[in-house]
Chain A
Amino acid sequence: MAFSWYDYPAYEHEDDRGCEIKNLIRWSDDDGRAAERRERRRRLAKIESAIEKSRSILELGDDFDGEGSPGYLKETWERASSFLRQLAATSLDRFSQVAAAPYIDPGPNGSIDLHWKRATCELLVTVPADPNTAPTYYGDDYGKSVVKGSLDSDANLRVVVLWLLEHQG
């Protein structure tokens, strides 16, 4: 395994090199943060890719299905994307794990579905078209473990995140 110089603690360079060492330390910190950001982006790349791919939902106009279904508002899609980013960030920051990317699908009545369909569990979060209504969720592990409710608080978001991380396999 190759190490770059900033993999070593800065104090190892602090002996007889004066100012030059200070710069090295600053570069070390900057490069370390940049590396962290790169790593974070890498770990969240699948989520971002799923969000970008789902942008095509916005092209669906009223009665796209011949059943009279309404089209999808940009605000709803942005809300769904924002929620998913929040879920992914919570997974990483609070639990140091990466949440799997869900399917992002057109749901009923202008809502958007985030659907995790795994071999070990299934979770469906629906972001409604009405911005004043909280997303709802239901998940189970095809057996006894069930989670359901409304995502109207950060506490509920953490419950969903934790459940997903425990069951996604």
Chain B
Amino acid sequence: MSGWEVEVIPDSGTLFLRVHKVHVREDDSIAAGAFADHGGGMSVDWAKYATPHDTRSHPTKGPGNYGAVSMNAGHVRSIDALKVIHEPIKDHPTLPDNRAHSEVIGDKTNEVRMKLGRIVDWAIRLGDPIRASYR
């Protein structure tokens, strides 16, 4: 399906995860519910091909409902055997093209979700100004 080469994301790579406002608490902390699989894994964008503004954008719901957090690929892999796989999307019947698209594969147990919460930092907070995405 992909028209782009699948690359190996190095441990030094940065990943962005879109976070819906429901998973952001009043004190700005991120609820563990933000770290969930949708389909085969937890979808993230590799910073080599995306900005956090790209990640924040959503095909139907708009960027205002979301923030974006960043995490280090090596730190993700250090959690309970999680895998980080580059999985670019090109010419998909329903999804927009996305060369940055990647998946965090592995069970999102309570332990995993809690530990993911410890390694993320805000890249764009919920209330931050909305900028254009080039995707």
Q: Which residues of A contact B (CB under 8 A)?
A: 60, 64-69, 103, 105-109, 113, 115, 117, 122, 124-126, 136-138, 140, 148
Contacts and interface: CB of A to CB of B under 8 A. Distances in A.
B61 interface: yes
Chain A binding surface, main DSSP class = strand
Interface stretch (B31-39, B47-55, B82-90, B120-128): B31-39
Chain B interface residue bracket vs A: 20 to 34
B110 A137 contact: yes
Interface string B5-37: 000000000000000101101000101110011
Contacts of B25: 103, 105
B92 to A, nearest CB: 15
Nearest to B25: A103
B61 A66 contact: yes
A66 B22 contact: no
A25 B37 CA distance: 62
A135 to B, nearest CB: 10
Contacts, number: 64
B31 A106 contact: yes
A138 B109 contact: yes
Contacts of B61: 65-66
A108 B31 contact: no
A115 B111 CA distance: 12
Interface in B102-121: 108-111, 113-114
B23 to A, nearest CB: 7
B20 A108 contact: no
Nearest to B19: A65
13 contacts: A60-B22, A64-B20, A65-B61, A66-B20, A67-B38, A68-B38, A106-B23, A107-B36, A113-B31, A113-B33, A115-B31, A137-B110, A138-B114
A117 B22 CA distance: 18
Contacts of A60: 22
A109 B32 CA distance: 13
B23 A138 contact: no
